[in-house]
Amino acid sequence: MKETESRTRDYLITSLLLLLLILSLYGVYYSQKMPEKEIKFVPTFNYSQKAVYDYRVIVKPNIVYDNRSVLRPNETPYISLVKFVNVSFTYWFVVEPKIMESTNISYDITCYLESPNNWKKIYLTIPRRTLTRDSPNVQISESLSFNMTNITKLIEAIREETAAFSEVYYLKIVPHISVSTKIGLKPVHEEFIPTMTISLLYSKNRLSFEGLTHNDRKSIGEYQTIYLTNVRYIRFALYVLSTVFSIAFIYHLQKIRKKRSRKSLINSYLKKYSDIIVESEDTVEKGPERTIVRVKSFEDLVKISEESVKPIIHQEENGKHIFYVLDIDVRYEFSIEEMSKQEKS
């Protein structure tokens, strides 16, 4: 029973130490993948370009719009009723935080009328202009007006000329903006092409507007290296744990091996000298005159008698038979009752 409990305890301890060792070794392996440093971009300046289009549709006298001449942006403009489309274009170049640097901006605007997969024609242009400002924050504005009657006539003329019909045509407003400045002692050169598209959907007799807002935001700064000291601490702790668990696991295995070798040696003794070894019970009583050793069987008592050349003395008291051998100051004793406790009850 005790041997079984000991084996179970050894098995549980071995399994626990092995599990802890595996986990700690995996932690060491995983910690090797953790970076000791990270490179972080720290912006010192932010600069942005923004373009916004706004439009007003001027229509002919009508019933559907309650005879109003200007349409709101959320209303559907029917091509047959549209006289003009007035477009306002606003552009901003902004630097944060603000600095006092000269900024050069040059731009032009080209408007194309095109048929998908067929032809493309320049309809309107604003020649290239150049502005110089003593501040990096610059704003420019332009207004354009498109006569829808003239555009429709131009499309019909090209259609008759090419014999190519399309259900949709596009009027594209394409600004080309170039910015040159210096931000934080660093030269900056940017190109920006915010395009607005007016779709002429003749199959549905209406206009649609796309690309009304454009944004481009960038940063200037430097890359900083940040060392992660906690990673080193984690690695060191895992190294220590894995070392401790390795030593504990090896020590426990050696302890089990020694225990088994001693057990094997004891078993060999018991087997080799079984003819002269006597098994005693757990208790050994020490009296004032003799030490009493209770043996497990009558055969063991016979061995003692033969080895010591002493007689076996028998004594009977109330159905309990006591056999014993006296050897100087030791009394070897075996007792047995005529009836067991269960039989008596």
3-class state of residue 80 by DSSP:
helix
Q: Residue 254: enclosing H or E segment and its boundaries?
A: helix 229-272
Considering only CA atoms, which of 62, 140, 128 is closest in space to residue 94?
A: 140
Pairwise CA distance, residues 130 & 103, whole Å: 10
| C-alpha neighbours within 13 Å on the C-beta side of residue 31 | 19
C-beta of residue 315 within 8 angstroms of C-beta of residue 335: no
Any idea which residue has 């006289």 for tokens? 83
What angle separates helix 2-33 from helix 229-272, to the nearest 10 degrees?
160
Pairwise CA distance, residues 186 & 177, whole Å: 20
Q: Give the list of residues 6+ apart from residue 203 with CB closer than 8 angstroms, or none.
A: 167, 168
Paired strand residues for 68: none
Kindly report the number of other CB atoms within 10 A of residue 182's CB atom. 13
pLDDT of residue 141: 95
C-beta of residue 227 within 8 angstroms of C-beta of residue 36: yes
Domain 280-344 has CATH 2.60.40: no
Residue spans of the chain under pLDDT 70: 1-3, 100, 262-263, 265-289, 319, 338-345
pLDDT of residue 97: 83
pLDDT of residue 279: 56
Paired strand residues for 110: 125, 174
| C-alpha neighbours within 13 Å on the C-beta side of residue 94 | 11
| C-alpha neighbours within 13 Å on the C-beta side of residue 160 | 5
End-to-end CA distance of the chain: 29
Pairwise CA distance, residues 312 & 304, whole Å: 9
